[in-house]
Amino acid sequence: MKKGILMGLLMLLVLALAVGCGQPAEEPSDSNQKQPAEQTEQPKEENNEPVELVAEYVGSETCASCHADIAGSWAETLHTKMVQDANDETMIGDFDKEGNPLETTGLSKDDIKFTIGSKWKQRYVTEQDGDLKILPQQWIVKTEEWTDYHADEWEERVYEDKCIRCHTTGYNPETEEFVENGVGCEACHGPASLHVENPAKVKPVNVAELSAERQVDVCGSCHVRGKNADGKRDDALGFMPGDNLADHYDWLVPKGEDEKRFYENGDSKSHHQQFNDFIQSKHYEAGLSCITCHDPHSQGAAIGQLRDTPENLCFSCHSEGDLGKPFDLSKYMPKRAKSATPGDITTHTFRKP
């Protein structure tokens, strides 16, 4: 009898435990509820709509903190010297020579704020009434002389309204300020603040992964002549790496009668028209791009930031029957355009001689 009672009590205890385990757990109070370790959802506005995160420019020094090797070789390229703070080291013009811009304007060296360029020629920027102006004479490196540059209208030409987007990185037309002198990392890879905040999830634009056409657009957004889509500016302000350049820019095309900018066969006469040339070429039709031959991250193995010597690059695709021996690059890329002196810039149409 006692044994039967004991067994009954044990069965009731097991049943009670089983019923208790099946009940939902009690909701914890707000004070005890565990908070998530990090915010994983996109921020939202008051109307519960997601807030679009906009990347901002951080400057090449920030990029270099992780990409030191690439930044180190890139620092030796001419891109970094497109715009520099003016000082005795960066100003290469001989201001003791007659016809210099200080002589014609009455300004002093201390009034020069920036230099533009360094290889073929150098121009000088001053500030007047809050606007940047390019002085009316430029220094020609090869001939070591001063020549006029919009000498009759230089005070009416506002640098920020013309071409500053291609000479600096992160120019903001609303504030008329820029983040960095010269052509920095973000000029080609886009603003990087979101990548810096979350490197694993947010990647900058990798130009090498774009289509060949979009790759050419990145370089062409500055190596081009024409007008912004607004019809006013000379640069492609508004273009971002990965965009279609045609959405932002109307470039010049050879029309035969345009004797100022093109020869009759369509080759360029003027500088920063490599894009205008290249899109006429069979190389462009075949899917090649600027970075097929050029290395934007280093001064390169030869002239012009090339990845290899011109001969090795050309023969990597063409045979001796195509190009002939001895190889003569000038047959296919004659120096016909002018930056500072006639014929100091090669054509990029690659026409057969």
Whether the link from the prior residue into 310 is cis, omega within 30° of 0, is no
Burial label for 64, CB within 10 Å (0-12, 13-18, 19+), is middle
pLDDT, one tens digit per residue, over 263-284 is 999 999 999 999 999 999 999 9
Q: What are residue 119's phi and psi, to 5 degrees?
A: -90, -55
pLDDT of 344 reads 95
pLDDT at 297 over 60: yes
DSSP string covering 240-285: -TTS-GGGTEEE----SS-TTTB-TTS-BSBSS-HHHHHTTSHHHH
Output the DSSP codes for 150-209.
STTTTTT--GGGTTHHHHEES-BTTTTB-SEESS-HHHHH---HHHHH-TTT-----GGG
- What are the tokens at 286? 């075949």
pLDDT digit string (tens) for 154-168?
999 999 999 999 999
Residue 146 pairs with which residues in a beta bridge? Answer: 139
Q: Note whether 318 and 324 are within 8 A (CB).
A: no
What are the structural domain ranges in the chain?
Answer: 209-353
Interval 26-80: pLDDT, tens: 433 333 333 333 334 455 555 566 667 889 999 999 999 999 999 999 999 999 9
The pLDDT value recorded for residue 301 is 66
**Whole-number pLDDT of residue 255:** 84
Q: How confident is the model at residue 304 (pLDDT cuts 50, 70, 90)?
A: confident
Give the pair of three-digit tokens for residue 266.
């369509």
- Whole-prediction pTM value? 0.84
pLDDT at 1: 42
Provide the percentage of residues in the chain whose pLDDT is more than 70.
84
Q: How far apart are CA 138 and CA 144, in angstroms?
A: 10
Instruction: Indicate the pLDDT class of residue 300, thresholds 50, 70 and 90.
Output: confident
The one-letter code for the residue type at 337 is: A
pLDDT the model gives residue 193: 97
- Could you tell me if 236 and 249 are in contact, meaning their C-beta atoms sit under 8 angstroms apart? yes
Residue 172 is which amino acid?
N
